[in-house]
Amino acid sequence: MASLFKKKTVDDVIKEQNRELRGTQRAIIRDRAALEKQEKQLELEIKKMAKIGNKEACRVLAKQLVHLRKQKTRTFAVSSKVTSMSTQTKVMNSQMKMAGAMSTTAKTMQAVNKKMDPQKTLQTMQNFQKENMKMEMTEEMINDTLDDIFEGSDDEEESQDIVNQVLDEIGIEISGKMAKAPSAARSLPSASTSKATISDEEIERQLKALGVD
């Protein structure tokens, strides 16, 4: 019972109209088929009357044939009109659906705009950008500091290792020989004395031992 009193929607009305138009189209096609059948019968009757020489009958039947053919032509025009109406109904239904979709979208946009505060949104984006820049600067500073620590430590340790090797393997020899050399208070060593104390061959030998060419 509730369905009997249910208010019809636009879609329901359009569906009913389409059903009626399809029914009308089928009825027109049936009428045309009947007219074509009558047309053939009249043509046969006219031929019979012509064979027996009944001119009056031929004239009456010919008038009926002309009237019938005009009626058949009208069925084509009506059928075309019905098809056009069906097409227009479908187009109107499509347009109404698009209008409904646009209405729903507009309502959604209105609801979103009411909830959205442009100033607050802008402030949030600016805060995000500022904090992101701070984070990038902090990360860059930390990376630079870590690079300085590790690079400085490695260089210092490597340099110290080289110095220790030189002192251990060359410095001891030099210290031992420098102890025998005259002090600066007494006299400055000459070039020949220094060369005699530490020869070039000895220095080259010790450098080769360290792997230094």
Specify if 5 maps to a domain.
no
Specify if 2 maps to a domain.
no
Residue 175 three-state SS = helix
DSSP characters over 135-169: HHHHHHHHHHHHHHHHHHHHHHHHHHHHHHHHIII
Return the pLDDT at 174.
47
Q: How far apart, in Å, are the Cα atoms of 81 and each of 28, 36, 77?
A: 11, 20, 6
* Measured distance between the N- and C-terminal CA atoms of the chain, rounded to whole angstroms: 111
151 shares a domain with 102:
no
Specify if 76 maps to a domain.
yes
User: For the segment 42-65, what is each residue's pLDDT rounded down to a tens digit?
Assistant: 999 989 888 888 888 888 998 999
Specify if 21 maps to a domain.
yes
152 shares a domain with 84:
no
Specify if 103 maps to a domain.
yes
60 shares a domain with 24:
yes
86 shares a domain with 20:
yes
199 shares a domain with 152:
yes
Q: State the CB neighbour count (10 A cutoff) for residue 90.
A: 12
47 shares a domain with 93:
yes
Q: Are 19 and 42 in contact (CB under 8 A)?
A: no
Q: What domain range includes position 64?
A: 10-116
Can you give the pTM of this predicted structure? 0.44
- pLDDT category of residue 199 using cuts at 50, 70 and 90: low
How many structural domains comprise the chain?
2
Q: How far apart, in Å, are the Cα atoms of 171 and each of 77, 164, 178, 192?
A: 121, 9, 10, 21
Q: How far apart, in Å, are the Cα atoms of 29 and each of 64, 73, 120, 175, 178?
A: 21, 12, 68, 127, 131
- Which residue in the block uniquely carries the two structure tokens 């045309």? 32
Q: Is 61 exposed, middle or buried (0-12, 13-18, 19+ CB in 10 A)?
A: buried
Q: Is the pLDDT of residue 5 over 70?
A: no
**170-174: long-range contacts (C-beta < 8 A, 24 or more apart)?**
170/203, 170/206, 170/210, 173/198, 173/202, 173/206, 174/198
d(CA 140, CA 148): 12
Specify if 198 maps to a domain.
yes
205 shares a domain with 158:
yes
199 shares a domain with 161:
yes
Specify if 68 maps to a domain.
yes
Return the pLDDT at 168.
67
Amino acid letter at 118? P
- pLDDT category of residue 143 using cuts at 50, 70 and 90: confident
Specify if 112 maps to a domain.
yes
| Separate counts of helices (H) and strands (E) for the chain | 6, 0
